[in-house]
Amino acid sequence: MGRTHRAFFRLDAMDSRRPRDGRIIEALGWYDPCAADEDKQTKIDVERVQYWLSVGAQPTDTVRNLLKKQGVAFDTKGKAIPATAE
């Protein structure tokens, strides 16, 4: 998404049997690498991401790196570690 030379990415839950640009199941957030302030570069609903990961969703490597920056922990095999209740 975004305009020419101004990238903007959405973070969505997708069905792997659908086309790449097909219908989404749920919008989980966005990433704007061109934003000047690092706090405004990402907006991710971490609770919903944790849910989708717990039911078997598989993030791409890029999304996994974004989630690590947001505080979602992964084990050595790449599986998300459930958030602990505080």
Q: State the total domains in the chain.
A: 1
pLDDT at 82: 65
Digit-coded pLDDT (tens) for 40-81: 888 988 888 888 888 888 888 888 888 888 887 776 566 667
Q: Which tokens go with 66?
A: 């974004």
pLDDT at 29: 92
- In contact, 41 and 31? CB cutoff 8 Å: yes
pLDDT at 55: 85
Contacts of 10 (CB under 8 A, 6+ apart): 1, 27, 29, 30, 31
Whole-prediction pTM value? Answer: 0.74
Residue 24, domain member (yes or no): yes
Report whether pLDDT(19) > 80: yes
Residue 83, domain member (yes or no): no
Mean pLDDT of 14-18: 86
Residue 39, domain member (yes or no): yes
> Among 32, 16, 35, 36, which Cα is nearest to 24's?
16
| Full domain range(s) for residue 58 | 2-69
Contacts of 73 (CB under 8 A, 6+ apart): 80, 81
CATH number at residue 20: 3.30.1320.10
Helix, strand, coil tally for the chain in percent (to 5): 25, 25, 50
Residue-by-residue DSSP string for 51-68? HHHHTT----HHHHHHHH
Task: Choose between 86 and 10: higher pLDDT.
Answer: 10
pLDDT at 69: 85
